[in-house]
Amino acid sequence: MAVAATSSASGTTTASRRLSIGANVTIAIVAAALLLVLVNWFASIKNVRRDIASFGNYGLSERTKSVLQTCKEPIEVSMVYMPDEEDEKQQTYISRLQDYFDEMTRFDKKVQVSVVATDSQREKLVSRISTTFGSEADKHKAALAAYEALNSELRNELQQKLVAAQALMSGESWLGAFPIFASIVNTIRGDIEALKTADEAVKELTPAGGIPKYGEATTKAKEALADVKDHMQLIERRLSDLSSLADETTKGDSKYIAMLREVAAETKSLIASLRTTVGAEDAAMPADPAASLKLFADRGVEVGKGLDALVRRVDEFARKFPMVTQHPNWAASAQMGPLVTRMEVADVLHQAGSTLSKARLVILGLIDSGDATQLQNALNDARNNCTVLEKNAQVCEELLTGLAAGLSTMDDASRAMLDAARSKSLFAARVESIDALTKQIDELPELKLGSVADQLKQPNIVVIETAGKIRVVDFNEVWPVRESIADPTAKSADAARTFNGDSALSSAILAMTREGPFASVVLTFFEPPPPQQRNQFMPPPPQSWVPSSQLSELRKRLEAANFKVVDWNIAQQKDPPPPEQGVPSVYVCLPPPPPQPPNPFGQAQPPDQVFGDSHRKIIKDLLDADSRVLFLATWEVRSSGFFGGPPTSPPYGYGPLLDTDWGLTVDNGKRITWVDPDTTRDNSFFIVPQRFVHMPGYGFTDNPIGAPLKGTRFLITDACPIVVKPSLPAGVQVEPVLRIPDSQNYVGASMAELVEIIEKVQDPSSRGSITMVPPPAHGPFDVMVTAERSADGKSKGKIALVSFGASVRDDYLRQPVMGEGQQLRLEPPPTENVDLFVNALYWLTGQTQLISRGPVPVPRIEPIASADLKALRVFVWAVWPALVFAPGLILWYVRRR
Amino acid sequence: MTRNVWALTQRELQATFFSPIAYIVAAVFLVATGYLFMGYTLKPGEEASVRVLLQNMAWMLIFAVPLLTMRSLSEEYATGTIETLMTAPVTDVEVVVGKFVGALVFFAALLLATLVYVLLLSWYGAADMSVVAWGYIGMLLLGALYVSVGIFASALTRYQLLAALVGAGLLGVFTLFVDALAEIQGGAWRTVLGYINILYRFEDFTKGMFDTRGLVFFLSSTAFFLFLTVKVLESRRWR
């Protein structure tokens, strides 16, 4: 018992000891776990994070950090990149961007990133954006609701008018007789259809689901209403004119109706009097045909005069009431050879009179000749002509009496419609409603949603919402094409791209959160107004190689980057646009057009306004007053004479100013062109068509304007060298931004050399290889420089000079780039050019801290020969693992023995 | 203590290097990493970086490390040598640390074998060596955590295969599972799960981002699993 009792006690003790130790262990583990959490929590609060990579590829740039720190509002980012398991590149794009956003959210908790990876998530995003930013469109919605109601009313009203008009057309009404009334009916019918179509279009633009395009919808509505209003006013004007005619012709004592009847009668009587002179067609030939003919000729002149008098009376009627000419009885069908044409009654009469007057001389000539046969024949002809004239007189009589009858008889329906038109009450109420709604639409505020609706449909976008604004950053901004293509046979989608998310996204946030514009960009151009009168053989005056109308893409991108763009035509306005308070101005001078070659026939033509010293002085004065100017120069080609002639490059308009004041010469007689050297022959090269238009612009210096673009593709066109004078004017400092290197791939060809090159390219025997002795000049060529000027310790202006100004034209920035290689491949248009301009504007305004760093030029794997690649595979996959495995195998063998 | 740990480490290393399984694992690991290196890293035009290679290696090691560590304590249990070890004049902590250091040294040797890729990379592209070095430091820290988890799993059972499965399972939870869960849940979950996602923490090292949070995470987590292992070993005395 005792033993049993002891054993039991011992068991209890062991159990309680186990429990106690177990509890201790549990507490220790829980404590350790808590400690683990605590340590990590503390580490997350007081952490140090540094990018130790020498190129800083994965971290945020200092600019981005500054942008985020300055921003007070929360930033909501939606990354809309749909995963595609089969597309390796897409996975790379997604993970790289996610990495970047991780950095962003780690740096600043204001940034909230959501990944939109499925269609349903995308729909949710669209719906949310629509709700958030759609609520600001209340005024638009109200305007569109008003439009819908007005559209419906207009259609009903027009439908009623159409029915009434059609009834007039079908019966023998006063109005229905006028063909112009048929066109009025057609206009009404067309307007009903147009309103229906516009209504459908507006509904399509403002769907219940998705993002409504209120801006576009209201514009569409406004355009539709404007058309209808124009037509209504035109119809009223036409009917009002007809009404005046009707007032005159339907009164009982209308002098014009009487006139028409008199003319009808007199015409017939005049022609009948002519017949008496020659007799009937079948009458016997008189003994003295000459006497009859003489009588005919003399009488003909009188009849002609009489007819002309009648014509004048008819014309007077037509002048007073032009609408009468629209009446079908105002004109007759006439056979003119094989053609049937309409001739007005007055013309028929005038032609008859004129014929008779001219016939007199012919007849008198015949009488003088005394030839009996000819006289007999002439008499027969006169008789025949009389018959024709009688017929015409008959037709005129019928027409004029019909016209008089038609015009003087008015029906009630026509009268009612004409009265309404005359009193402007036909469409007055509707026109008033249209005007009111148009005014309402004009006063609508600009929508923040803007063009987001369309952009949201694109693949691979980032949507940023902050400060009550929304912005879509597209794929090409985040992933621009890299400067070199690794695989020339790659397809379009495989074009090598580089990550530019840091610059693109921070620029977007910066533009959205900045209160005012960074600067006012004054696009300065020389476009004289067209002369009042211009000789039809005189060609239009020459346009600038970079006309202001070709800069809409540049404007759009500058505005998106938060610059204000203002136009200044120095041909019409001598003073610059007034600067905005607190906003620096930068003048962007477009290349002025050259004067037109002298016109050998244009002595009487007033000379066109030509760009000259007075215009250069305007810019010089601005610079002397410490302004900032970006000069766009370019290589250009023009005909040397009025009739063409050999091509020539006119001197750059601002050349003398830059040469004298800044020591910079724009050598636009040379075009810098990319060539591929022909290694088999001396002084020989090939022209690469793609690179002739899209020349890679390698050679950015460390200047802050161009340095960020080192890692991206940069394509330019029509570049010419800028020559920096060895001795610069006092106080001027010049720094190159883009220096095309001294390479076999770049030549600066003069116009004569270019012509020679083109001729040789076209020669089939050359097989594309062009030999030139001496060869065209090689680089280095400066194509973009900056210059600063100071005097007495004060700044006296800052300029940037670009010699490839044509590279920002719309047609260049919108044209996809043809990829090289065997397969047809299109790459995105070279919009990176605009980034350089934006950077230059930041530099000019002294805001270099806003210049983005651009894509980081990370080191890349060099090309590997396929034989080397095979050998490497064998080594890495087999040899190296075998070498590591071998000791194990030996060991196993030794131990077995 | 150091002498005891060193003695145990030597014993562990001897056992490992005399075991053909280590060489088999190493060879298979190198074939796999070699394939990934040639397929995803040494590609003309791609960024000259070991980032993708290290990330792929981290993924593979989820399964490879438990295979290496599965025998560390399980074998002792199975063969009964654990009793000898427990009665020897060494503490449980020394045993665990000795096993851990032994496995980590082998892991480091395995990593050393992959430096041949770095040589090739620097031959064909000017890779940033500071990023490469930081990546390898991260790899070592990641390996330490994986090894500690593997040893912990090995301490739980006498069956080596089960230990490998438990180890891979645990690592799978803190890598692949939380990653997938974060992707599915998104939003705040993504952030929360990111704190315990080993691979996510490791990414900073591959990118060349020095972050004290990552360092603390790997060191503290490794210490925690080693602590758990010690507690498991201790429990043999009072269970």
- Closest residue by Cα to residue A155 from A188, A187, A185, A183: A188
| Candidates B128, B187, B217; nearest CB to A859 | B128
| Contact residues on chain B for A47, CB-CB shorter than 8 A | 211-213
What residues contact residue A576 under an 8 Å CB cut-off, 6+ apart? Answer: A522, A524, A568, A585, A587, A618, A622
- State the pLDDT at residue A637: 85
pLDDT beyond 90 at A855: no
- State the pLDDT at residue A426: 82
Contact criterion met (CB < 8 Å) for B208 and A52: yes
User: Domain ranges in chain A?
Assistant: 1-48, 138-250+418-442, 255-408, 516-530+539-598+608-850, 866-897
Mean pLDDT in residue range A414-439:
87
Which residue is listed with tokens 């050349």? A655
The nearest alpha carbon in chain A to B189 belongs to A114
CB B50 within 8 A of CB B206: yes
Mean pLDDT in residue range A702-718:
86
- State the pLDDT at residue A562: 83
pLDDT beyond 70 at A491: no
Q: How many domains is chain B built from? A: 1
pLDDT band with cut points at 50, 70 and 90 for residue A822? low
Distance, CA of A541 to CA of A777 (rounded, Å) = 33
Distance, CA of A664 to CA of A699 (rounded, Å) = 19
Task: State the virtual CA torsion across A287, A290, A296, A299 in degrees, nearest 10.
Answer: -120
Range of the domain at B136: 2-238
pLDDT beyond 80 at A484: no
What digits encode the pLDDT tens for the residues A568-627? Answer: 999 988 899 988 888 889 999 999 998 877 666 555 555 567 888 999 999 999 999 889
- State the pLDDT at residue A771: 85
What digits encode the pLDDT tens for the residues A219-272? Answer: 899 999 999 999 998 888 888 888 888 888 888 888 888 998 898 888 888 888
CB A140 within 8 A of CB A447: yes
HSE-CB for A647 with a 13 A CA cutoff: 15
pLDDT beyond 60 at A274: yes
CB A770 within 8 A of CB A760: yes
Distance, CA of A286 to CA of A382 (rounded, Å) = 13
- State the pLDDT at residue A602: 53
pLDDT band with cut points at 50, 70 and 90 for residue A8? low
Q: Where does A421-508 show beta strands of DSSP type E?
A: 461-466, 469-473
- Closest residue by Cα to residue A809 from A615, A587, A592, A632: A632
Beta bridge partners of A686: A676, A769
- State the pLDDT at residue A5: 46
- Percent of chain A whose pLDDT exceeds 90: 23
| Contact residues on chain A for B49, CB-CB shorter than 8 A | 858
Mutation for testing the B interface, residue in A26, A29, A111, A861 having most B CBs under 10 Å: A861
The nearest alpha carbon in chain B to A499 belongs to B47
pLDDT beyond 90 at A672: yes
- Closest residue by Cα to residue A509 from A63, A166, A886, A812: A63
Beta bridge partners of A493: none
Residue B30 in contact with partner chain A when CB distance is under 8 A: yes
Structure-model confidence comparison of residues B2 and B56, the more confident one: B56
Question: What ipTM was predicted for this assembly?
Answer: 0.91
Average pLDDT, chain A: 84
Instruction: Quote the tokens at residue A652.
Output: 């750059």
pLDDT band with cut points at 50, 70 and 90 for residue A314? confident
Question: Strand, coil or helix: what is A641?
Answer: strand
pLDDT beyond 90 at A736: yes
Which whole-number Å values give the CA distances from A501 to A111, A509, A807, in the listed order? 15, 12, 24
For residue B39, give the DSSP letter.
I
Structure-model confidence comparison of residues B60 and B194, the more confident one: B60
Contact criterion met (CB < 8 Å) for B27 and A888: yes
- State the pLDDT at residue B239: 64
Instruction: Quote the tokens at residue A141.
Output: 């919605």
- Among A201-210, A573-582, B171-180, the range with the most confident prediction by mean pLDDT is B171-180
What digits encode the pLDDT tens for the residues B183-222? Answer: 787 767 777 888 889 998 999 999 888 999 999 999 999 9
The CA-based diameter of chain B, rounded to the nearest angstrom, is: 61
- State the pLDDT at residue B66: 93
| Candidates B38, B217, B238; nearest CB to A872 | B38
- Closest residue by Cα to residue A711 from A863, A849, A835: A835
Contact criterion met (CB < 8 Å) for A864 and B44: yes
The CA-based diameter of chain A, rounded to the nearest angstrom, is: 185
| Candidates A22, A496, A888; nearest CB to B23 | A888
pLDDT beyond 80 at B57: yes
Instruction: Quote the tokens at residue A772.
Output: 């030139």
Distance, CA of A197 to CA of A204 (rounded, Å) = 11
- State the pLDDT at residue A219: 87
Instruction: Quote the tokens at residue A830.
Output: 């070279």
pLDDT beyond 60 at A6: no
CB B87 within 8 A of CB B197: no
What residues contact residue B69 under an 8 Å CB cut-off, 6+ apart? Answer: B103, B147, B150, B151, B153, B154, B163, B167
Of the ranges A329-343, A402-416, A448-462, which one carries the lowest mean pLDDT score?
Answer: A329-343
Distance, CA of A838 to CA of B109 (rounded, Å) = 52
CB A64 within 8 A of CB A108: no
The number of beta carbons lying within 10 Å of the beta carbon of residue A375 is 21
Enter the pTM of the model.
0.65
Cα A59 from chain centroid? 38
Mean pLDDT in residue range A127-149:
82
Mean pLDDT in residue range A430-441:
91
Min Cα–Cα distance to chain A from B162, Å: 23
Distance, CA of A456 to CA of A790 (rounded, Å) = 49
Mean pLDDT in residue range B91-115:
92
| Contact residues on chain A for B44, CB-CB shorter than 8 A | 486-487, 860-864
CB < 8 Å from A in window 129-158 of B: 130-131, 134
- State the pLDDT at residue A493: 44
Distance, CA of A722 to CA of A719 (rounded, Å) = 9
Q: Which residues of A670-685 are buried (b: 16+ CB within 10 A; e: fewer)?
A: bbbbbbeebeeeeebb
pLDDT beyond 70 at A374: yes
HSE-CB for B77 with a 13 A CA cutoff: 19
